[in-house]
Amino acid sequence: MRGNGDTSLPDGDGIELMREIIAAQRQILAEVLGEAGGEGAAAGASRTARIASTEEASRTARTEGASPTAPASVPQVWTLYKEVQHYWDRGLRAPDDVTVVLTDDNWGNIRKHPDPAEPARSGGYGLYYHFDYVGLGRNYKWVDTTSLPNMWDQLHQAVAYGNNRLWVTNVGDLKGNELPTQFFLDYAWNPDRWTLADLPEWERRYARQNFGEAQAAAIASVLAAYGRLQSRRKPELLNRRITLDPAKDPATDSSAVVYDDQATPFSLSAHRELERVTEEWRQLARDADRIARRLPAADQDAWYELAGYAVRATANVYVLREAEFTNLLYARQGRAATNDRAAAAEAGLAEDFALAERFNSRIAGGKWRGFQTQPHIGYGDIERYGPNAPWQQPELDNVALPDELFPAVRRIELPEAARLGVAVDGSEEWWPGAGSRAVLPEFSPYRTGPDPYIEVFNRGLSPFGYRIEPSVPWITVDRPRGRVDQQIRAALRVDWSRAPRGRTEAEIVVYGPEGTAVPVTAVVDHRRVPGLDGLAGVNGFVEAGGHVAIDAEHFSRAVGADGVRWQRVEGIGRTGAGMTPFPVTAASRTPRRGGGSPRLEYELSLLASGPVTVWAYVSPRNPALPVAGLRYAVSFDDEVPRTVDIIAATGADDGLMNPQWARNTSDNINRTATQHILPRPGRHRLVFWMVDPTVILQRLIIDTGGLHPTYLGPPESFRTG
């Protein structure tokens, strides 16, 4: 029970009002079922008398703390949705026979488990879960975005904590959410049948049931990859970047969370992040198209409905967004390719409409006409759609409207004469327009990812010749000279057998039309790992570019204790697997040095001593346990572990999707940090300690001074051993 129009009840009198509602409803049940004065008395009572009886029952319930007794055979539920959970936390209890339905936070993360210390309830506990949502921080209603590993984890926790009387999921439009709905039902029917290790088998079975054996393995692979890529971020949120104001504390000040609904959450520059994630979607679409070509004609409609449309349409939205935000960057830089990027974004919007029209008109002979019309691109345009646009779908008078690009693309006019522009990998600046010097990402023999690049671009209409000349012979360029119509990208490489030891700088000059030139600095880090000869003796991860990035599954040692072990959860992370302590009902504990506590150990080598920051990327869980907060601990070597309360650090779900929690759920990650001083360079052991169960570690990022902000974090660092 909530307020009018599914809004929250007043916080001040909500508990008292809820008591009245429960008492009145149970009195009505008692009357209708003949439990108050007999069936004849109930049936013959006047409406006024029934209301008076109900009001008297409500007054009795308030003064005596009891409720009228309703027939125990009548199933009744009380759903602790959003703010209603706070009434429970403050002591309000429903009658014992009522099933108390606990909920997720609308984003697939359970908010509360039954407390084992509470008296057993004859009505038991239930669960209300979401595959689809309308509300803050933003609707997600377009295509299936449910992570199967995440759902398994949450349902597994529900069973483990005794929440098994009634499960309900909000599927939105059942069409499009067939896969998560089927798994939800299968798991509810027999949780023991579908263990974590059985998830790949379940996906193969789902593929086999719908499309036969021949393509089942390939289809299951596409389904798994689709779920992993979608779990990074809902498609509706691809034009929202959420950042923190460094001058404010997000734990206490909601204004510390800053929304920009005209920016990509993925970096346009650092680690080529937007390029990389878009290419992953392109590859998945190619894989899906390959399957479609191999399926018989009789299966084509089913394939498009169950997988093909969602894969291709989401991939197209990523391609569209890459073109859109690249266009806006190019417009600021005055590039000749600006208008082509605008046209590509507009073509992506047209392709989005075409894919939907195929679903609506051609699939199954037009059976689904009008179904695939859910807006998913134009969110955030307050000027066009009003003050609810940041979270509500593009609509007018509660009627959804066709998507438009938001932010809008830009077109520019160019001079006839050629003009040199230079951009470097890792930066959104351009030269000679920027006031600072152009510096490439740091070169290192331990660097992962592609070679750094220089882009030479035209700011005019006439083509020009260019050349790129390094000042040292041990830096080479794959495209040292040529002609620029719009732009070229040249990769640079260091010959480490000839590069000097230590940390040095070299100049690279880009020459363009009419004698113009732009110097670019290459910072080359060829330091040895202190105390080691080359890679001899190195075991684990090695610093490069001022950071170390570690995927949680690549530990050096996983230590269990007191019946607790570490479980790898494949596919639950935004970039791979996650690690979590099992069983999920394990008791909380204080980390103990000397080998007595569950922990993950990571060997790494750093190039210098001094301060470092360790960022822990964990799944965005709620404090669902009866203990306060949700905690882990971190230490280096033999130092005292530093405990972090995730909820205290970032802000919890307050039932109304506060901005702090909206950031965690929108980004589908919770980032928290610890600071450490390392007295020496060289080899170290980083330890991640269990404090509370249900914490799922996805990544650890160690910032030694060179970390650049990105959505997913840097690619995983070089490692040996």
pLDDT in tens, 311-366: 999 999 999 999 999 999 999 999 999 999 999 999 999 999 999 999 999 999 99
Q: What pLDDT was estimated at residue 26?
A: 86
State how far the Cα of 203 lies from the Cα of 385, in Å rounded to an integer.
40
Nearest to 125 by CA among 157, 152, 162, 155: 162
How many CB atoms lie under 10 A from the CB of residue 243? 14
Nearest to 31 by CA among 18, 41, 22: 41
Tokens of 335: 């590039």
Instruction: Sketch out the chain's domains with CATH numbers.
Output: 1-73 (no CATH), 75-92+104-194 (3.20.20.520), 266-333+337-400 (1.20.58.2150), 420-526 (2.60.40.10), 540-720 (2.60.120.1620)
Q: What pLDDT was estimated at residue 653?
A: 59
- Rounded to the nearest angstrom, the gap between the alpha carbon of residue 413 and the centroid of all alpha carbons in its chain is 38
State how far the Cα of 433 lies from the Cα of 354, in Å rounded to an integer.
40
How many CB atoms lie under 10 A from the CB of residue 598? 23
The tokens 């595959």 sit on which residue?
A: 131
276, 283 Cβ separation under 8 angstroms: no
Q: What pLDDT was estimated at residue 11?
A: 57
Q: What is the 3-state secondary structure (H, E, C) of 255-295?
A: HHEEEECCCCCCCCCHHHHHHHHHHHHHHHHHHHHHHHHHC
pLDDT tens by residue, 465-477: 999 999 999 999 9
Q: What pLDDT was estimated at residue 213?
A: 97
State how far the Cα of 494 lies from the Cα of 256, in Å rounded to an integer.
42
Q: What pLDDT was estimated at residue 252?
A: 80
Low-confidence ranges of the chain (pLDDT < 70): 1-7, 9-13, 34-72, 531-537, 651-657
Q: Which residues pair with 542 in a beta bridge?
A: 605
Contacts of 38 (CB under 8 A, 6+ apart): none
The tokens 């719009």 sit on which residue?
A: 486
The tokens 């001022």 sit on which residue?
A: 546
Model pTM score = 0.93
Q: What is the 3-state secondary structure (H, E, C) of 209-272?
A: HHHCCCCHHHHHHHHHHHHHHHCCCCHHHCCCEEEECCCCCCCCCHHHEEEECCCCCCCCCHHH
Q: What pLDDT was estimated at residue 594?
A: 76
The tokens 């069973």 sit on which residue?
A: 159
438, 474 Cβ separation under 8 angstroms: no
The amino acid present at 665, given as its one-letter code, is T
Phi and psi (nearest 5°) for 395? -155, 165
661, 105 Cβ separation under 8 angstroms: yes
Nearest to 689 by CA among 646, 623, 637, 642: 642
